[in-house]
Amino acid sequence: MILTAAVGCGTAGHASPARSAGRTAHTVATVTTAPAAVRKAAPAQAAAADADAKPENDPARPQSLPDGLKVLYQTHGVRGPAQLTTLARIPRGTLGVVALCKGPGSIRVHLGTIASMDVACGTPGVYNEIALDGARTSVALSVTASPQNAWALTLGWTSVIDHPAD
C-alpha cells in the first residue's frame, strides 16, 4: 500500500499503533508543517471475533472505525470508479480511513489534497490515520477503480491528534 502526503519539517510526538480487527495498518512519520501527517501503523493483530460479530472484510457491508472516531462519510457495495462527495470542512484532528476491495488489482482512494492511498484487493482491507494540524476545506473524496472492483470506504474523525514517531 502506498500513501501520498506532502512532507515538510517539524516535530513529532509519541504514537500508539492503530488497531482495527483483521486489517492492515501502517505508520508514516509526522510532519507538523505539512498539510497532513499520515500514519501507517504496524500490522494490526486480529481481534478474537465474538459469535455475534458480522464479518467486515466484505465490501458489501459498512466498515466500522475504531472507538472514538465520528463517521464523516461511509459507503459500501460500490463497483468501479466514483466521485463520492466534497466535505465542506474537516476540523483540525485525526482522520481515520477504512477501505477494502474485492476484484483484480487495487483501488486508489483520494482524500482531496490531503492524501491518496492504494488498497490491494482481496486483502482484509486497510486502516490509516492522518493527523491534520489545521482544518481543511472542500475535501473531494473519490475512488479510482476498475469496473470489476467492489469496494467499501469509511472516513472518520476525532479531535485528538496523536502524531506518529519519526
Residue at 40 is within a domain: yes
Residue at 15 is within a domain: no
The 10 Å Cβ neighbour count of residue 86 is 12
E-assigned strands of the chain? 3-4, 24-25, 37-39, 70-79, 82-90, 93-102, 106-111, 115-120, 126-132, 136-144, 150-158
CB-CB contact of 5 with 117 (8 Å): no
Q: Give me the tens of pLDDT residue by residue for the chain, a chain 166 residues long.
A: 333 333 222 223 323 333 333 443 333 322 222 334 444 432 332 232 232 334 468 999 999 999 999 999 999 999 999 999 999 999 999 999 999 999 999 999 999 999 999 999 998 889 999 999 999 999 999 999 999 999 999 999 999 987 666 6
This prediction has a pTM of 0.69
Q: In the prediction, which pLDDT does 57 show?
A: 81
Residue at 82 is within a domain: yes
How many domains does the chain divide into?
1
Q: In the prediction, which pLDDT does 129 show?
A: 94
Q: In the prediction, which pLDDT does 149 show?
A: 97
User: Any bridge partners for residue 73, and if so which?
Assistant: 155
Residue at 54 is within a domain: no
**In this structure, what CATH number is given to the domain that contains residue 92?**
2.60.40
The 10 Å Cβ neighbour count of residue 27 is 18
Give the domain range for residue 133.
3-7+28-44+59-158
CA pseudo-torsion sign 17, 1, 67, 69: positive
Residue at 71 is within a domain: yes
HSE (side-chain half, CA atoms, 13 Å) at 150: 10
Residue at 87 is within a domain: yes
